[in-house]
Amino acid sequence: MAHIGYNWINKEVCDNFNLIVNCTPVGMSTNDDELVDLPYHLLNEKHICYDCIYNPEETMFLKHAKEHGAQVIGGLPMFNLQAEHSWKIWMR
């Protein structure tokens, strides 16, 4: 696992890593027109882009990644799983 800034992402990085996870608030419903600053033109079908944001369901990050052929996953499934586990803990 590597921790790098967006400005470090270049062709070599994209060729060697296939998972990009957005854990920032960029693209949340209050700022849904914001876009994660990535070189989207370097993405292709081997990339998986995951956004922890669940509202909106499809962020600009996911839209742009999908337009360049990447597989995309939004944050809603994670949010639902967290809610399910919280319910189990609190309703014991």
Greater pLDDT, 74 or 92: 74
Average pLDDT, whole number, for the chain? 92
User: With 70 as the cut, is the pLDDT of residue 13 above it?
Assistant: yes
41-84, pLDDT tens digit by residue? Answer: 999 999 999 999 999 999 999 999 999 999 999 999 999 999 99
Task: Say what the pLDDT of residue 8 is.
Answer: 87
Eight-class DSSP state of 27: T
Greater pLDDT, 73 or 8: 73
Angstrom distance (rounded) from CA 19 to CA 15: 11
- Beta strand residue intervals within 16-78, DSSP E: 19-22, 48-51, 71-73
Domains of the chain: 6-90 (3.40.50.720)
